[in-house]
Structure 1
Amino acid sequence: MPQHVPSPLRATLRRPQHPAAPPPVPRRITFLAHRDLGNPAAGGSELLVDKLADGLTRLGHQVTLVCGGPAAFRDYRVVSAGGAYAHYLRARSVFARQVGETDLLVEVCNGMPYLAPLWHRGPTMCLVNHVHSDLWGMRFGGPLAPAAQLGRRLEQWALSGRRQQRSLLVAVSPSTAQALGALGVAPDRIRVVHNGVEEPGPVTGRSPEPLFVAVGRLVEYKRIDLLLRLWERVRPVTGGRLVIVGDGPERERLERLAGPDVTFTGHVSEAEKHRLLCAAWLLLHPSAVEGWGLVVTEAAARGTPAVAFDVPGLRDSVVDGETGVLARGESSFAAAWCSLALSASRRAAMGEMALGHAAGFRWERTVRRFRAVACEAYRSASGTGGYASRG
């Protein structure tokens, strides 16, 4: 006797079977970046990628970083594609041989692009710390000016060209988003994901004597040479010491320029950086441009206000007049430096505001926001959903 099958189930069995929909999240995520965090020249961009890759791994994603130069062991996979510049040419072949299938390819564009949308057929997304428009001229001046012009054109084409028009771009600050818009990137393709900061742990003591700290890679656009010139105007007023934390190709020249009471530490441990940021009366940040200025938030998390120039990125991380001062020129930078050094009450008030402001920026939040944008980019490219509202 035939077995009785309820009519609703019979209808279900007759219904044609459709292929399973793609998963709602990209399980396999690959980053293409210039450096790994273990590279001696690593900076804020490398720290951001490391925090994103590590956080996504902890959320269950399979993450690979393809980079140039040395590759260190991480909880996620790191693959070196060659030397500092050769890896731009080898990234495609290394990706094909050692990565292969990935659900989402994230190109970290720091000036020189990988042109991933030209050769990768799957979903892509671009992470932009800052647009290098004005920096090309600082790096390639004089007889190398044609190289600067070529770099500017290549960067603009890579970020706003036709191949990128279906991809999302992640900017680390409103300033970077605005710069992308100026290149011709449509606003509905840009998402802002701010940098985070670690919970700093117990705050150590403030220096009893004036102590001013600058932290960053010693390269042209950080303008430490300008800071050293201003120190000669500020030191007779404030006294104290100026400590320069970091290393880079400019170090030897800068050490020759330095006057009295200036110390170059080179690279320091996280513990020593924590101690210096806690002890500092002020963080000084003379950079010409930043994506965000991560050390500003790191200092703020220790209750240390910043003096910086009113330039892209720093105008996002410094709340002018509250968590620090944004100077419009060299004289106003020196004036703010002296004024805050001579007013303990004003420094303390700004430090409290900086501490509260930094509490709103944590790496866990950054990772989850980035993951949401990654899922959006993946669903859109997979045909399972459109772009969500901008962040």
Structure 2
Amino acid sequence: MHIYDLQELKASTNNFSSSRLIGKGSHGSVYKGILKNGNLVAIKKQSLGLQKLQDNTKLENEANILSSVHPNPCLIKLLGISHDDYGNKIIVTQYMPNGTLHDLLHVSATDLPWRKRVEIALRIAEGVRLLHESNPPVVHRDIKSANILFDKIYSATLADFGLAVRLGNEVEANKLPAGTIGYIDPSYTTPGKLSTKIDVFSYGVVLLELLSGRRAMDVRKSPPSIVEWALPLIERGRAMEVCDERIRLPRGSMARAIRRLVHVAARCVSPKESVRPTMGEIVAILESLTVEPIQLPISFRNVVFKMMGRRRFGFNGRVKDCGTCGEHDKGSGNNISKGRLLVREILADITLK
């Protein structure tokens, strides 16, 4: 892991100037840094509140977790660390220039297309699956739209590992429940309730947020909780009423995909942990929804017809009477099967070429 010189980080942020502040939370403040080589980075240092409490555990924990998990584009990349003048840890990560999912859904005037929402859902599911399949498994404990960041091409990345814990580690597993209201699993009330299923619940809330455009917790609405609003609708067979009204509902295969996602979200936020799928199951479902069918160009049909004609096949898949042999039974079901077989052979020929 690279160790950054504190003076270099100060110079890169104009001594942690407020003009370079790009994010602020209970765990730390994040600054945009421009290193001497011109590279952009995100620099997180301890929040003032934690400085007063002399609590540096959150950034220490984030650095430890990120350095222990397998690098993946779906997870924020740790570039290195440093320490401030008082010995508190500073972490340096990749810079994400396009903000958070929370801002994109609730602040930006741009409406997210349905296909992009499915893509984001898959990216985050892949990231959480990687955490859960680590050895030992890692539970993020703070999955929410504000912790999903976008790179320069708007690929989603899961960030902020200050609350993450490793299962099987007695010290970490005994940490008091933590998370964000609206996203935290209501059943996670004691350290003994810690499991990967609490991340599945939080992911389900994000999925509902993605699909509906509604905030996870909005006191201006009744009920304020997105889960308490969405679940009754889904249970009454009104799943598509959960979808964001600001953009037109999709049709065809995308409509079916969105409906499937709504029901996946309902399973994720189920009060019964046994009903909630694993992140591996969720990834498999989302991958099946995002596989594009092969779109054959119109010209391809002409190629098929010509090849079928040369082999004495009609456009309806029936074998024409060649007049030279007795094995062609005009219009028979057997010939239709042969016609389908030929189409498969033509497809194989063109694919191989």
TM-score by length of 2: 0.25
Greater relative CO (CA pairs within 8 A, separation 6+)? 1
TM-score by length of 1: 0.23
